[in-house]
Amino acid sequence: MSHPDVLVVGGGIGGLGVAFSLTRQGQTVRLLESAPAFGEVGAGIQLAPNCTRILDDYGLLDEAKSLGVVPDAMVMRDAVDGSELTRLDLRHLEERYGCPYLVIHRSDLHGLLLRACERAGVELINDATVTSYENTDGGARVTLASGETYEAGLVIAADGLHSAARKLLVDDRPVSSAYVAYRGTVPAEQPRVRSVDLSEVVVYVGPRCHFVHYGLRGGEMLNQVAVFESPKALAGQDDWGTPDELDAAFAGTCDFVRDGLPFMWRDKWWRMFDRDPVMTWVHGRIALLGDSAHPPLQYIAQGAIMAIEDGWVLGEHVARNRAEDGTVDWTAALAAYEAVRPEHCRRVLTTSRKWGELWHLDGLAREQRNALLRARDTYDYSFTDWLYGPTALTPDQEPEMFTPIPLDSADVGEPVPARGTA
């Protein structure tokens, strides 16, 4: 393969997803990964029906289900008193949207996509760090740190939060949320795991913090995530998100949450950044995909899903713009991709920020949020239909957004003082 049809930069979930998608459409694909070996760092990941629907189309859903857990419910609890606020019946949700809600280890999802690419004939190259992108007369070219160059008819930059290609389109920087995430997994034989229902995805929402847990690998382990706002980050210090801040952030939470903290990995933490939405993703024959285009905060669990959706949508538009001789009208395919994906992802990015704010309220606002959540009907899908339905291929297919409910519409009686105040 001297010059492939497509060059994908980045071997994460988004890069592998689009490489597989385009190979299915008859394109020759070369993928460049900077690391010496393919792999994914982290623990659990949630895949909503808008993602499992695509995995099903790819013929990969059964394998994904065999590696993960299909939970029965998603439950939201108050992190301070442990009380249940609201829940989603995920089995009923599957009936509504036609595909399951699945939780899986991030490395298992990555491995599944890697094997699919290998079977499909994607050329996979490691130790290939791309430092620059440029358009050519017939496509685009990338230059590696080694000085080596690669060319193709189309270059897809799936190179993450710190994308080198994004600079061609916008001069911006990642935005710090001042929140940090700790992760950890607990083997099933531990007493803590035996005390929880592994068929539930549970989030405890608290003042300036939250805690998530759910089962992984068929119930072999419990995945935990602890997220909190860092006072050191707010103060502008460089050393922020440290383990002492983790313990302090959850000091006022219920026993169950605090008892989970010793199981978190304390030598690694993830500072939470996103970027402001941008509506231009295409520069000639160079296209952004995944976190290079739309890195979100994690609150509605759509980061990897959006990347997988990007690849599927681009593949569908390649199919629509491919001539009988196999040649693709890349200008038309990229225009169709850019006409629909940036607006959807803008909605996800902005909603993720707002959802995070809602999770972390204190005082009266917390009481109002809790009252509204408790009043919600389990089978009310007005806040998920815009997200979990079929992925739009054209702007007219993008569903209407939900209507927010004002916090001050809740009746909570007498105001409750904020934690730590008189």
**3-class secondary structure, 139:** coil
Axis crossing angle, helix 106-120 with helix 13-24, rounded to the nearest 10: 30
Residue type, 399: P
Residue position matching structure tokens 């990015």: 349
User: In Å, what is the CA distance from 140 to each residue of 3, 321, 361, 370, 379?
Assistant: 11, 19, 47, 52, 49
Residue 272's nearest CA partner among 325, 216, 229 is 229
Q: Which of 214, 299, 337, 388 is catalytic?
A: 214
For the stretch 229-237, contacts whose Cβ atoms lie closer than 8 Å and that sit 24 or more positions apart, written own/partner, are: 229/178, 229/179, 229/360, 230/178, 230/179, 230/180, 233/176, 233/178, 233/179, 233/180, 233/271, 234/178
Q: What number of residues does the chain have?
A: 422
Q: Tell me whether residue 214 is one of the annotated catalytic residues.
A: yes
Tell me how far apart the alpha carbons of residues 67 and 221 are, in angstroms, rounded to a whole number.
Answer: 12
Tell me how far apart the alpha carbons of residues 219 and 234 are, in angstroms, rounded to a whole number.
Answer: 38
Q: What share of the chain is helix, strand, coil (3-state, %, to 5)?
A: 35, 25, 40
Instruction: Give the DSSP letter of residue 155.
Output: E
Q: Quick one: how many helices (H) and strands (E) in the chain?
A: 13, 18
- CB of 224 within 8 A of CB of 184? yes
317-340 burial: b if 16+ Cβ within 10 Å, else e: bbeebbeeeeebebeebbebbbeb
Tell me how far apart the alpha carbons of residues 411 and 202 are, in angstroms, rounded to a whole number.
Answer: 26
* 43 phi/psi in degrees, rounded to 5: -135, -115
Q: Which two tokens stand for residue 352?
A: 């993720």
- CB of 11 within 8 A of CB of 18? no
Q: Is 350 exposed, middle or buried (0-12, 13-18, 19+ CB in 10 A)?
A: middle
Longest dimension (CA), the chain: 75
> In the chain, what is the straight-line distance between the N-terminal and C-terminal CA atoms, in Å?
70
- Residue numbers annotated as active site: 214
